Amino acid sequence: MNKLVDKIYGCLLGGMIGDAFGAPGEGLTYREIQKKYGTDGLTTFEGMGTDDTAIRNQLIGTILKCEGYPNVDAFAQSFINSRDSNYSLWYTPVRNSYHKFSEGLSLPAYAGWGNMQSSSTAMAISPLGIINAGNPRQAVLETQEIASLIHNGPTGFCKDAACSIAAAVAACFSPSANIDSIIASATEFLLPVSSRELIDLIEKALNMASNLGNYESFREAYYEECLREVLADSRETIPATLAILHLSKGDPSKAIPWAANFGRDADTIGTMVGGIVGAMCGISGLPQEWVDKATQTHSAEADYSGDKYPSRKADTDLPTFDYAEISEQFESIIKDRQAELSNISGNLRKLNADL
């Protein structure tokens, strides 16, 4: 396995691990998690994740069907195709979008207008960061289209959130990447005026984390100052995700459990943290016992984590996801994209040549 595939596989499996790790804590405060699971909180995971993983798999399927260039119409079709198997997993804004475009009330590109706030695209967007490996600017540009399916207009900050996570994942593929450069990429290519609300909230969370210096103190302060009425609000989850990455210095063995034990939208924070540290460290950098457990889980027809996430129906037409195989398919997509860029570069060199 080369380094590129190692990082792709790490991102895919790390995201699923983070999702499953955080699933039991979803909707609970960190104090409730400690009361229920003990002072150490959540220390392991079961199952294959929640709606985060389910929608991410839809996006993976869309990317493969579109031969590496997904669009919002094809992403919308993935929801129509997976309606029977995944509808019960989808959160309110996802269902709102689905009914808008599936019933002809809105075109897919505009279905996200005004939907309630959530992290429904940010939690699933890591594959778009992968296929834009090393190019966070392009990851942001392509995510703006994909994320418009679920959020736009008054809740456009949720689209910004997806752009932030996609850029961070893409930045992980730079050979010189470190946790500071990855976190910086999360806001570097957001719109300076239109995305200002999210940029400022991320900066506030990172400053809080730096000043307090440890996870427990940060978590307590964040609960006091930064929680939103809707726990899935990306204005809460994205700053928390990046602050946890900062405090953990990108160490998966710290970052993923800290995300899970953060509480609130713990599965989504876990998914985003897990995908980023997995892309940064690669599959070889994740704890081996987690890799072994997750590999056995995702290759089987396992239940999504938690009692409220039913197993997929046997008659679904969704592909069975083998992340090792998908990693190699994504490697081919990245190489094809690279070849196209090389062709464009060659054409420009010809135009720039002296007559």
DSSP 93-160: HHHHHHHHHHTTSS-GGGTTBTPPP--TTGGG-HHHHHHTTT-HHHHHHHHHHHHTTT-BGGGHHHHH
pLDDT at position 152 is 94
Q: CB under 8 Å to 346, separation ≥6 — which residues?
A: none
Residues 47 and 89: their CA atoms lie apart, in Å, by 15
**Backbone phi, then psi, for 43, in 5-degree steps?**
-120, 0
Query: Taking the CB of residue 302, how many other CB atoms lie within 10 A of it?
Result: 16
Residues 229 and 99: their CA atoms lie apart, in Å, by 25
Residues 130 and 98: their CA atoms lie apart, in Å, by 25
The pTM score is: 0.93
Whole-number average pLDDT of the chain: 92
pLDDT of residue 176 exceeding 60: yes
- What is the amino acid identity at position 111? A
Q: Of 57, 47, 93, nearest to 308 (Cα)?
A: 47
pLDDT of 214-226, one tens digit each? 999 999 999 999 9
Q: CB under 8 Å to 154, separation ≥6 — which residues?
A: 113, 114
Q: What percentage of the chain carries pLDDT values higher than 70?
A: 93
Query: CA 291, 297, 300, 304: dihedral to nearest 10 degrees?
Result: -140
pLDDT of 86-112, one tens digit each? 999 999 999 999 999 999 999 999 999
**Backbone phi, then psi, for 311, in 5-degree steps?**
-70, 160
pLDDT at position 118 is 97
pLDDT of residue 313 exceeding 80: no
CB 327 within 8 A of CB 8: yes
CB 321 within 8 A of CB 298: yes
Residues 208 and 210: their CA atoms lie apart, in Å, by 5
Handedness of CA 171, 176, 180, 185 (dihedral sign): negative
What size, in residues, is the chain? 355
**Backbone phi, then psi, for 252, in 5-degree steps?**
-55, -35
What are the chain's domains?
3-307 (1.10.4080.10)
pLDDT of 188-199, one tens digit each? 999 999 999 999
Residues 203 and 195: their CA atoms lie apart, in Å, by 13
pLDDT of 226-284, one tens digit each? 999 999 999 999 999 999 999 999 999 999 999 999 999 999 999 999 999 999 999 99
DSSP 300-335: TTPPPSSTTSPPPPTT--SPP--HHHHHHHHHHHHH
Residues 264 and 208: their CA atoms lie apart, in Å, by 19
Residues 127 and 58: their CA atoms lie apart, in Å, by 10
pLDDT of residue 319 exceeding 50: no
Residues 39 and 108: their CA atoms lie apart, in Å, by 45
CB 125 within 8 A of CB 165: yes
